[in-house]
A = this chain, B = another copy of it.
């Protein structure tokens, strides 16, 4: 996020504290999760474009999936008015799974492609950010 979008997110976060569905959420943690999802969408889009060989077809399509899921997850976190605990938890779960599986697949290609190795790293960070969100929501 740049300075202006961060300021906008701070304003949205303050609103969230006043809504019953979202009042307990750790909004700092959510901003990190938004960044991680944005990075995953970008890394996976570039990684899918870079892979050439036929043996990379699974990795390429998983990256395309991961980019789309990350984009939907990111946007959900930017809409406090539409947020419910249950939809957030289910989508965080799906994104964590997608990020973890995509990281594993990309990592298995890391010897052939430096871009795959970097993409795996970004996916791993996204999985962790989503898991942290889920943990904090379970405790709230």
Contact = CB atoms under 8 A, between A and B. Distances in A.
A90 interface: yes
Q: Give this chain's copy count.
A: 4
Contacts of A7: 118
B8 A118 contact: yes
Given A54-B53, A87-B101, A118-B4, A68 B75 contact: yes
B61 A81 contact: yes
Contact of A62 (B2, B5, B82, B122): B82
A2 B35 contact: yes
Contacts of A74: 42
Given A2-B35, A34-B42, A54-B54, 13 more contacts: A4-B43, A5-B42, A5-B43, A8-B43, A38-B42, A42-B74, A48-B79, A49-B61, A49-B82, A65-B79, A68-B72, A90-B93, A90-B97
Interface of A: 1-2, 4-5, 7-9, 11-12, 15, 34-35, 38-39, 42-43, 45-50, 52-54, 57-58, 60-65, 67-69, 71-72, 74-76, 78-84, 86-87, 90-91, 93-94, 96-98, 101, 114-115, 118-119, 121-122
